[in-house]
Structure 1
Amino acid sequence: MSSEAASPPAGGRVPVRVPMRWADMDAYGHINNVNIVRMMEEARIAAFGVPGGTGRPVSQPRVDLFANVPEGTQVLVVEHRVRYTRPLEYRNVPAEVDVWISSPKAASFDVSYEFRDAVDGTVCVRALTTLAFFSTADQRLMRLPGEHRSALAAFVGPPAVG
């Protein structure tokens, strides 16, 4: 975890904006469910960064939680859960998304999301992604290192999906 991490906002939530593409729409003018999962990934990367060794991002995340992941460690998606509270209509402006950490455990943690319509502010989607650290040498999940658990703790809020 980067020591340059910004101070967490109230409730650990990090606000980001995720563009909606014309191609994200379904026949009803809503953002398609498959594209919601893509937008979750974009929000997670914008908020917390990419795991070390996975490309060369041009923009800096709001908080870089994954910069110091040990070599030989992958941060893997274990599960996604999505609850639609109303359709997220296609807009030509980015969706507003709050991202935070919830349910930290010994070997995994959840990243929670709340998507709001950028025009009227209505919550449309609540979701979470469970992430776990994976040792490439041992080919198994590993316990989160203490420094990562401590850094995650600053961004813990309630689960987005019940």
Structure 2
Amino acid sequence: MNTYTYPLPLRWADADSYGHVNNSLFLTYLEEARTRMFQDMLPADEAGRRQRAFVVSQSVVDYRAPLTYREEPVDVQVWVISCRGARLELGYAIRDAERTYAEAVTKMAAYDLDTGRPRRISEAELEFLARYTESDPRSSGQRVAVGPYARCLAPAQRGAAPPPGPGAAR
């Protein structure tokens, strides 16, 4: 799987009186990593960013282990599960070399803030997102989303047929 990894520095203020990072901050950590990942995809000018925005419609976080404050950053990994039309689904893991603290999924919509309406994900955005799309190990290196939605492929990859499933005639 191709992931974007952001080494997130923990902040002293993130810890509660027990030294644990408050679980509500995990959504902020996901947002920070996603924003850093999207920096290369979104337009540089404010008007362009307003017309090419993405908004979160749902977040689900599975907390796996307490994260205690420490000096070393924690890795926030981000990958594309699926995208189609105006929908984008991202997967996340907050982890270090020893353990996974949380896994999460956000569902997002490509959105034009000026019109207040969803928009289709552009060809350039699809090209960018294809770098971080889950790969099916049967696909011989082709990027194929394995989530519940259609493929999120770069324009050059869209004509390729999906790999055969288990038990399919070869």
Shift of 1:83: 0.6
Unaligned stretches of 5+ residues in structure 1: 1-10, 50-63
1:104-128 deviations in whole A, cap 9, x for unaligned? Answer: 12111122211113xx521111112
1:59-97 deviations in whole A, cap 9, x for unaligned? Answer: xxxxx1223757633221222111111111221211112
Unaligned stretches of 5+ residues in structure 2: 135-145, 148-170
Change (3 A) 1:126 1:45: same
1:116-135 equivalence runs, <5 A: 116-117=95-96, 121-135=98-112
Alpha-carbon contact 2:43-2:52 (below 8 Å) kept: no
1:70-149 equivalence runs, <5 A: 72-117=51-96, 121-149=98-126
For 1:90 and 1:66, the matched residues in 2 are separated by 32
For 1:13 and 1:73, the matched residues in 2 are separated by 22
Change (3 A) 1:146 1:94: same
For 1:82 and 1:38, the matched residues in 2 are separated by 12
In structure 1, the residue matched to 2:6 is: 16
**Partner SS state of residue 44, structure 1:** helix
For 1:71 and 1:32, the matched residues in 2 are separated by 31
Amino acid at match of 1:142: R
CA RMSD of the aligned region, Å?
2.2
Shift of 1:46: 2.4
In structure 1, the residue matched to 2:160 is: none
Higher radius of gyration, 1 or 2:
2
**Partner SS state of residue 31, structure 2:** helix
For 2:49 and 2:11, the matched residues in 1 are separated by 35
For 2:63 and 2:50, the matched residues in 1 are separated by 37
1:29 pairs with 19, 26, 30, which one?
Answer: 19
**Partner SS state of residue 55, structure 2:** strand
In structure 1, the residue matched to 2:41 is: 65
Shift of 1:156: 0.6
Which structure's relative contact order is higher, taking Cα pairs within 8 Å and 6+ residues apart?
A: 1
